[in-house]
A = this chain, B = another copy of it.
Amino acid sequence: MTNIPDGKMPETPTMSDVARRAGVSAMTVSRALKEGSHVSKETRERIMQAVNELGYVLDQSAGSLSSRRTGFIAAIIPSINNSNFSDTARGITDALEETGLQLLLGYTNYSVEREEELIEAMLRRRPEGIILTGGSHTPKGRRMLEQAGIPVIETWDRPSQPIDKVVGFSNGEAMELLVETLAAKGYRRFGYIGGTTARDTRGSQRRAGFVCALERLNLPADRLISFGVPPISMEQGAQAVVNMLERWPDTQVVLCVSDLSAFGALMECQRRGMKVPEDIAIAGFGDYEIAACCHPRMTTINVDCYGIGRQAALKLTQAIQGVGKPEALTVTDFRVIEREST
């Protein structure tokens, strides 16, 4: 790696440049730039003028070295391109707004190895807290988190051995509820479409919930299609349903690991001239925008994605600021949304 050719560039001004121009000490500039510090109106105005003239921007990395507060928290999500998780990110951002904390976001593409790298990269920048998705991490990742000395929140799941605090729900129970609801409507021959299980923990929990609920109902739970690596796409959902119909043509209802694959399946069925739900019923998971908008509208599980983010961030700021003692576990809501596709 080469150095920056630093002859031409007007060096970015420092705080003492501002101080000199305003005829005060650097410390006073520091105070003037901070809310709630006592600086006389006149000095503050003089300082602000110097700031504007020089185009000065505070160097927060230097400041945080001194104040021991970096002013940001880290969040790691599987995919940035998934509205469930980006809703969670929005929830975090919104809850953080008033605290002055900034969000540093990373995404793993559903890889725990990538998660481990990200955890280390984040920790190097000394976040004041960290929010993770799910409870599966590499041993090294887990160890780093435990030793970091900062609050850790695992979300979107209920890990059996949490690192620290949890905001989530049981993906298995949610899927069980969906199966029960549909069984109560009279469906008997259930199929399931999901990704290969190893990588997407939440996906495999949903699948396990599917099997578990059917067994409890004394219904067969063998119509399982695993297709591709997570995130299982719309197109993969389409191909999987074809697969399903070839192997088990009399399947009555297909449950999918997410609305996205369910949507792909729905469209493919229509393309083949099948009517949903008359010929085959389809349900998804996650209550994405598409589930409410497609035709027919899709039955799914609504999960409080935004609330997960919001509550995780609130719990985190509580832990950081040491006000009150945040609960170790917050269980978030989920509910079945029955629509036209079942």
On whether A57 and B2 interact (CB within 8 A), knowing A10-B149, A62-B65, the answer reads no
Smallest Cβ distance from A241 to chain B, in angstroms? 12
Query: How far is A102 from B114 in the complex, measured between Cα atoms in Å?
Result: 13
- A328 interfacial contact with B, CB 8 Å: no
A90: B residues at CB distance < 8 A: 80-81
| Selected interface stretch from A17-25, A242-250, A264-272, A277-285 | A264-272
- A312 interfacial contact with B, CB 8 Å: no
Quick one: closest B residue to A101, CB to CB? Answer: B1
Which size class do A's interface residues fall under?
35 or more
Interface residues of A in 318-336 (CB under 8 A from B): 320-323
Query: How far is A9 from B146 in the complex, measured between Cα atoms in Å?
Result: 12
- A183 interfacial contact with B, CB 8 Å: no
| Max chain B C-beta neighbours (<10 A), residue from A70, A80, A86 | A80
Neighbour of A293 across the interface among B105, B264, B289, B293, CB < 8 A: B264
Quick one: closest B residue to A9, CB to CB? Answer: B149
- A55 interfacial contact with B, CB 8 Å: yes
- A214 interfacial contact with B, CB 8 Å: no
- A31 interfacial contact with B, CB 8 Å: no
Q: Mark A284-310, 1 if CB is under 8 A from B, else 0.
A: 000001101111000000000000000
Smallest Cβ distance from A4 to chain B, in angstroms? 6
Interface residues of A in 78-106 (CB under 8 A from B): 79-81, 83, 86-87, 89-90, 99-100, 102, 104-105
Contact of B55 with A147 in the complex, beta carbons under 8 Å:
yes
A interface residue numbers (CB < 8 A to B): 1-5, 9-12, 55, 57-62, 64-65, 70, 79-81, 83, 86-87, 89-90, 99-100, 102, 104-105, 120-121, 123-126, 143-144, 146-149, 233-235, 238, 263-264, 267-268, 270-271, 289-290, 292-295, 320-323
